[in-house]
Amino acid sequence: MKKIWTIAKWEYLEKVKTKTFIVSIIITPIIIIGFSILPTLLSDEEMPRVKTIGVIDTSGTYFNLLREELEKYKIEDKQPQYILINLNEKNKPFDQIRDGANQAVLRGKLEGYILMLAKSKDSLIVEYRSESIGNFKDIGRFEHAINSARIQKKLIQEGIEPELTSFIQNKIELKHIKLDDEDIEAKQDFLITFFSSFVFILLLMMMVVYSGQMLVRSMLEERSNRLIEVLVSSSTPEELLAGKVIGLSSLGFTQIFIWFLIGLALAGSSLIPLGAFENILPMLVYFILGFLFYTTIFVGIGSVVTNEQEAQQITTYISLVLLLPVVIAMPAIQNPDFVVIKIFSYFPLTIPSVMLLRLNISNVSDYEIILTILIMLLSIIVMIKISAKIFRIGILSYGIKPTLKDIIAWIKE
């Protein structure tokens, strides 16, 4: 036991001091924060300003309705954001009007113009023409305004009272509330719950990839310079294995913990919807078990790979399995009792991530939680034994890549 502790401490302290670790601790949150903030920064960059929008309406009936709708949007000082200009001119051919509008846009006199072509009685073709395409916010508003104007116009034509028209246009949004065992409404929003599981799964995957690679790399170093021989002549391979797993797991958790603190400090609790984790205890259990399970797999891999590239490839493939819930998330939400999902929630490689997902989207019985945790524990024990055997032999065979047959023979030995 003492030696396990010595090895764990060494692995932890030596790695914690490395530049790679320190850099990854700082760089990763910066990248994540950058990614989440950048789009908002970019879209908000544009100062709200008054925009002049032309309207060509061949039916000649929409302009007032549209203006009414779009003048609701105000910027500072209660100025309207959009000023609409009716480009229709009597006795002027349509082509000329359109060409004139095009010129106005190109010369910068107009931000753009809305072209409405009435085809038959109730059919319209609408275009928004401007120099730049892709201002989704404006286009979204125009679309909404046009539709609303269309409906309003029709309703008025049919003689329906104006109060009714606004009622008809109001949409009801369906809120989805998850019930827990006692049939009490859960407080949190479904979406937050759903994405909080994803946060957990992603964290797990990042940790597994990061620590897995570190573990495999350190084992490669020890194998290539034969230090491993000194180590296994000082402790049993099992002690060495356990020490490494514990040391590097602590490293992974340190990293997550620091990121968590950074997140808290930067965004307050709003970034991490703590309230969403009503199942925090079983989630943590799955998280830790999942991490340990994957780490022991990586020890086995670290004992047979012969170079870093190979190591990286295998690490990536294995961690991709953790992303399975992303693929099955939709069917899982639609039908949490779907057989395939049930199967995945009893398969050791996918238990942690699938259960992290299921815990938050549906009610999982205590019996299932206990059973899957037991499966995980058992798998970890079996994996440690298998990895220890591969480790014991693999670490001493240098430069030769063992075949699958060799590895199976080692396990049986």
Partner 1 sequence: MLVVKNLTKKFKDTIAVNNLSFTIKPGKIFGLLGPNGAGKTTTLRTVLNIIKPTSGTISFDGKSISDEYYNMIGYLPEERGLYQRSKVIDILAYFASLKNLSKSDALFKADEWLKKLNVSRYRNKKIIELSKGNQQKIQLIAAIVHNPRLLILDEPFTGFDPINQQEVKELILTFTSEGKTIILSTHQMELAEKMCENILLMNKGSEVKSGKLSEIKRIFGGNNVKVEFSGERKLIDGMPEVLKFDSYNNYSEIHLKDEVSPSKFLKQIIQKVDVKHFSVIEPTLNKIFIDLINENN
Residues that bind partner 1 (CB under 8 A): 2-3, 6-7, 10, 14, 18, 221, 224-227, 229-236, 393, 396
Q: Which is nearer to partner 1, 188 or 213 (CB)?
A: 213
Q: What is the dihedral of CA 49, 148, 55, 61, to 10 degrees?
A: -150
Q: Which is nearer to partner 1, 86 or 218 (CB)?
A: 218
Question: Taking the complex as a whole, how short is the minimal distance between the CB of residue 380 and partner 1, in angstroms?
Answer: 24
Q: Which is nearer to partner 1, 231 or 283 (CB)?
A: 231
Q: Which is nearer to partner 1, 11 or 138 (CB)?
A: 11
Q: Which is nearer to partner 1, 70 or 311 (CB)?
A: 311
Question: Taking the complex as a whole, how short is the minimal distance between the CB of residue 402 and partner 1, in angstroms?
Answer: 11
Question: Taking the complex as a whole, how short is the minimal distance between the CB of residue 409 and partner 1, in angstroms?
Answer: 8
Using alpha carbons only, how large is the chain's radius of gyration in Å? 31
Taking alpha carbons only, the member of 130, 153, 127 closest to residue 63 is 153
Kindly report the CA angle at 145 between 142 and 150, in degrees rounded to 5? 125
Residue 278 CB-density burial (10 A; 0-12 exposed, 13-18 middle, 19+ buried): middle
In sequence order, the 6+-apart residues with CB closer than 8 A to the CB of 228 are 219, 222, 395, 396
Other C-beta atoms within 10 Å of 117: how many?
Answer: 14
Question: Taking the complex as a whole, how short is the minimal distance between the CB of residue 386 and partner 1, in angstroms?
Answer: 18
**Distance (Å, whole) CA 219 – CA 22:** 20
Q: Which is nearer to partner 1, 96 or 236 (CB)?
A: 236
Question: Taking the complex as a whole, how short is the minimal distance between the CB of residue 230 and partner 1, in angstroms?
Answer: 6
Question: Taking the complex as a whole, how short is the minimal distance between the CB of residue 379 and partner 1, in angstroms?
Answer: 27
3-state DSSP assignment of residue 85: strand
Contact 209, 319 (CB under 8 A): yes
List Cα–Cα distances, 64 to 149, 307, 349, in angstroms: 9, 72, 62
Contact 28, 205 (CB under 8 A): no
Q: Which is nearer to partner 1, 3 or 129 (CB)?
A: 3
Q: Which is nearer to partner 1, 103 or 307 (CB)?
A: 307
Question: Taking the complex as a whole, how short is the minimal distance between the CB of residue 231 and partner 1, in angstroms?
Answer: 7
Q: Which is nearer to partner 1, 10 or 190 (CB)?
A: 10
3-state DSSP assignment of residue 80: strand
**Distance (Å, whole) CA 277 – CA 53:** 48
Question: Taking the complex as a whole, how short is the minimal distance between the CB of residue 388 and partner 1, in angstroms?
Answer: 14
Taking alpha carbons only, the member of 110, 116, 127, 126 closest to residue 54 is 110
Q: Which is nearer to partner 1, 14 or 180 (CB)?
A: 14
Strand partners, 129: 113
**Distance (Å, whole) CA 224 – CA 231:** 13
Question: Taking the complex as a whole, how short is the minimal distance between the CB of residue 227 and partner 1, in angstroms?
Answer: 6
**Distance (Å, whole) CA 374 – CA 55:** 68
Question: Taking the complex as a whole, how short is the minimal distance between the CB of residue 217 and partner 1, in angstroms?
Answer: 12
Contact 320, 206 (CB under 8 A): no
Taking alpha carbons only, the member of 47, 41, 123 closest to residue 81 is 47
